[in-house]
Amino acid sequence: METSRPIELPLDIETIKGFLDPQEGEALYRLAAEASDLGPVLEVGSYCGKSTVYLGSACRLMDNSLFAIDHHRGSEEHQPGEEYHDSDLFDDRSQLMDSFHNFRSNMRRAGLEQNVIPVVAPSAVAARHWNTPLGLVFIDGGHSLEAAVTDYRAWSRHIVPGGYLAIHDIFPDPKDGGQAPYEIYKLALASGQFELVEMVKTLGILRRIQ
């Protein structure tokens, strides 16, 4: 991947809630810029938009679009009583977690509303009638095995040959973190359709070869 071009972000990325390491975010930015010649970009799991700003900023630079798929009700670990619950994102009226207002505000602050297309729906529902070929798919949704496998099976088939699949939170050693992203990473390699390009911390970047 091209690494010489400095990245251009429209705001201080640390003002956005999220769990993406800056090195991983910069890798996503460069990957989205490179993949823009192949088709639109799609991410599964936007949360409050940290990864969306990296990806969307590259799409704006390249006059491309980013589809941001998230039901905005939070993953398992974001629910009340769980490790990553954030009370600021809990809607007292509905008694549900809701990150969409925060996400939308961040897209407006970043000036990305012309390039980022939010799709507020579960991943499988959004994919049900999807037909648009994609240059890059970034998977960072629910980390249960069922959710991760659903995301992989729903979206990887839409990546064009030469396009990219990026998977976040890959931990080969169970002591370091959950195994669901690592399992779909192994599924992708075992399929014979993807090859590893590089690992950036916990971000696995694969290319579709057929």
Catalytic machinery residues: 143
Extract the tokens encoding 189. 């390699």
CB atoms within 10 A of CB 199: 13
Gap between the Cα atoms of 58 and 138, Å rounded: 14
Contact 205, 31 (CB under 8 A): yes
Rounded to 5 degrees, what are φ and ψ at 198?
A: -165, 160
Spatial CB neighbours of 129, under 8 Å, sequence gap ≥ 6: none
Pairing of strands 66-69, 116-119: parallel
CA 26, 1, 206: angle at the middle one, nearest 5?
Answer: 90
DSSP structural state of residue 106: H
Secondary structure element (H or E) that encloses residue 125, with its range: helix 123-127
Gap between the Cα atoms of 74 and 142, Å rounded: 8
